[in-house]
Amino acid sequence: MSFQKIVIFGAGVMGRGISRVVAATGTEVVLIDRTTELADRGIEGISESMDKEMERWGITPSEKKAILSRITAKTDIKEAAKVPMVIEAIPEDLGAKKSLFKQLDQICRPNAILVTNTSTLSITELAAETKRPDKVIGMHFLNPVVKVPLVEVVRGLKTSDQTFDSIKEFASELGKTVISVSEYPGYVTTRIIVPMLNEAMHVLMERIATADDIDNAIKLGFGLNIGPLSLADQMGLDEVMSWMENLLKELSDHKYNPCPLLRKMVRAGHLGVKTGQGFFKYNEDGNRIREDTGQSDS
């Protein structure tokens, strides 16, 4: 199902990525955040990410110009009243998401679809804040949204077949492979990846191997493109810990209990690529700095 214009709430990493992918298909996007500064910073982040791709001949200047022309930064939630679909991509906080969905239900058109990008929270619980639970659904994009060719389309208990089919078609138009998921904590991707990340952190904390050796062991041993510690740094260690805590609360399974080393790093503000320090160090462009040579990965 094609949409001429949609609203995306949250101008952080995920909101930016989703905005860019949607705008690239010709759909207009209104990117909303709490303040003008945050919303404008989201547009700047999208522009900067495309600049890096132009340096690698990934996109052309005209493609960048076309995509940015379709994205507008706003702060007024009432913009949601003008569109047939809203995508929520705010931080993984149940209370904040429930509050937003309650407001959106009152503002949006009766037939508008409300989408959440949550990776661990209940679609059904969010839908219960509205009078349109049949039109509430999950689209779990993975970071980086532009590069990962997958999206999990997650049905809540009352999500209608019509809503599901519309969003599945929309995801396909974005060039994504769709995985159909019935709601369950963590869905497929988060539930499977989180224990691996957590165990890698325990191996590092117990000094069984260095961070480099742990990542190389998993990459080379299992044919992956990235090691678990580098992956956690890319995701954001605060986000990873939030996922673990949500899954632990929902499933009461010890394997989701965040590693003490992860808790320590988050408290210290070492959140990965976005702060320049996680399990590894990064420059302002997000490239890893090799401590043995002082050089960064290009």
Q: How confident is the model at residue 297 (pLDDT cuts 50, 70, 90)?
A: low
Q: What is the pLDDT of residue 56?
A: 85
160-to-44, 156, 181 alpha-carbon distances in Å: 37, 9, 14
Give residue 1's pLDDT: 59
Q: Which residues contact 62 (CB under 8 A, 6 or more apart)?
A: none
Element (H, E) at 30: strand 28-32
197 and 155 in a common domain: no
Q: Which amino acid is at 41?
A: R
CATH number at residue 145: 3.40.50.720
| In a domain? residue 91 | yes
Q: For residues 193-205, give the mean pLDDT.
A: 97
Q: Which one of 145, 164, 182 terminates a domain?
A: 182
pLDDT grade for 296, boundaries at 50, 70 and 90: low
152 and 274 assigned to the same domain: no
Is residue 2 over pLDDT 90? no
Question: What is the per-residue pLDDT for 290?
Answer: 83
Task: Look at residues 182, 211, 239 and tell me which one is the last residue of a structural domain.
Answer: 182
Dihedral-angle region of residue 187 (phi above 0 means left; psi in -120 to 50 means alpha; beta otherwise): left
**What would the pLDDT profile of 208-249 be if each residue is shown by its tens digit?**
999 999 999 999 999 999 999 999 999 999 999 999 999 999
Segment 56-79 shows an average pLDDT of 94
Average pLDDT over residues 74-88: 96
Contacts of 223 by beta carbon, 8 Å cutoff, 6+ apart = none
What pLDDT, on the 0 to 100 scale, is given for residue 57? 83
d(CA 72, CA 54): 22
State whether 65 and 164 are in the same domain. Answer: yes
Domain assignment of residue 197, yes or no = yes
At residue 286 the predicted structure's pLDDT band, cuts being 50, 70 and 90, is confident
Q: Among 20, 17, 32, 33, which residue's Cα sits nearest to residue 66?
A: 20
pLDDT, residue 287, reads 87
- The pTM for the full model equals 0.88
- Domain tally for the chain? 2
Is the pLDDT assigned to residue 58 strictly greater than 90? Answer: no
- Give the model confidence (pLDDT) of 3-41 as tens digits: 999 999 999 999 999 999 999 999 999 999 999 999 999
User: What pLDDT was estimated at residue 232?
Assistant: 97
Give dist(CA 72, CA 223) in Å, integer: 40
pLDDT tens by residue, 251-285: 999 999 999 999 999 999 999 999 999 999 999 87
Report yes or no on 29 lying in a domain. Answer: yes
Are residues 151 and 87 both part of a single domain?
Answer: yes
- 74-99 average pLDDT score: 95
Q: Are 192 and 243 in contact (CB under 8 A)?
A: no
Question: Does residue 199 share a domain with residue 165?
Answer: no
Q: pLDDT per residue over 154-179, tens digit each?
A: 999 999 999 999 999 999 999 999 99
pLDDT at 226: 94
Take residue 37 and report the two structure tokens written for it.
Answer: 């500064």
Arithmetic mean of pLDDT over the chain: 94
Percent of the chain with pLDDT over 90: 87
pLDDT of residue 298: 53
Say how far apart CA 295 and CA 255 lie, in whole Å.
Answer: 36
Residues of the domain holding 81: 5-182
Please indicate whether residue 92 or residue 193 has the higher confidence score (pLDDT): 193
Among 131, 150, 182, identify where a domain stops.
182
Q: What is the C-alpha to C-alpha distance for residues 282 and 289, in angstroms, rounded to an integer?
A: 5
Together in a domain, 30 and 133: yes
> Looking at residue 176, what is its pLDDT?
97
Give the rounded distance of the alpha carbon of 184 from its chain centre. Answer: 18
Neighbour tally for 298: CB within 10 Å: 7
